[in-house]
Amino acid sequence: MPYRTHPLRTALKTVVDAAALVVAMPFGVLSFLEKRLLPGHESTFRMCAQMLALLPGLPGLFVRRAYYRYALDGCDADCHIGFGALVTHREAVIERGVYVGVWALVGSAHLREGTSVGSRASLLSGTELHEYHDGRWTPSDVRKLRQIVLGPHAFIGEAAVVMADVGAGAMVTAGAVVPAAVPAGIVVAGNPARFVRRLAAEPAPVVAAPPAVPPS
């Protein structure tokens, strides 16, 4: 039998979501004005995100989510963004049912429906943000941001570092470092991440039955 949310609980969540949107509105307005008046700047966006990241408990969860609904390219009302978790670029999309654990770091990323991101995991904006030039590494270059995509129901383990796309239903184990795209439906582990196993067996090929032999 499918799980059904109690109508009273649904109504209460709707009310609290609306209240959180009111609380987060000043932060959302500041982020909006920065985006319109100072294209390419994100210092105000990040300042607001950092302040709200440290709000504890359920109030913090609701207000963080409300702020990101204002500030990001997309953020669904049904997602979980844990204490200390931080989205560092507004070019991010968080879809329905996404879970982002405590102290996780999300850069320019598209988190598809049902994705789970473990605590202290880092989703970086591609692999080309820094260059070695004139004997030193350059600061992060926002012109080289590349949005990574985590497919539906992908699982990112605790403290993993992800710099490339992860396919639907794939698992990145705890502490893994992912510099290259991960196909759907597999498990990867290690630094750099390597194939471990498939999560589901491939369907057996359909073999046509031999034609019936007529009786002699």
Contact 141, 157 (CB under 8 A): no
Instruction: Please tell me the predicted confidence (pLDDT) of residue 13.
Output: 86
Bridging pattern class, strands 194-198 and 177-178: unpaired
Instruction: Please tell me the predicted confidence (pLDDT) of residue 203.
Output: 47
Bridging pattern class, strands 93-94 and 109-111: parallel
Q: Which residues of 126-143 are buried (b: 16+ CB within 10 A; e: fewer)?
A: beebeeeeeeeeeeeeee
Q: Which position has the token pair 């913090």?
A: 60
Domain-wise residue ranges, the chain: 8-71, 73-193
Distance of CA 165 to the CA centre of its chain: 11
Instruction: Please tell me the predicted confidence (pLDDT) of residue 73.
Output: 95
Structure confidence by residue, pLDDT tens digits, 74-112: 999 999 999 999 999 999 999 999 999 999 999 999 999
- Dmax (CA) for the chain in angstroms is 88
Q: Among 3.10.129.10, 1.10.260.40, 2.160.10.10, 2.40.30.10, name the CATH number for the domain at 73-193.
A: 2.160.10.10
**Distance between CA atoms of residues 150 and 162, nearest Å:** 10
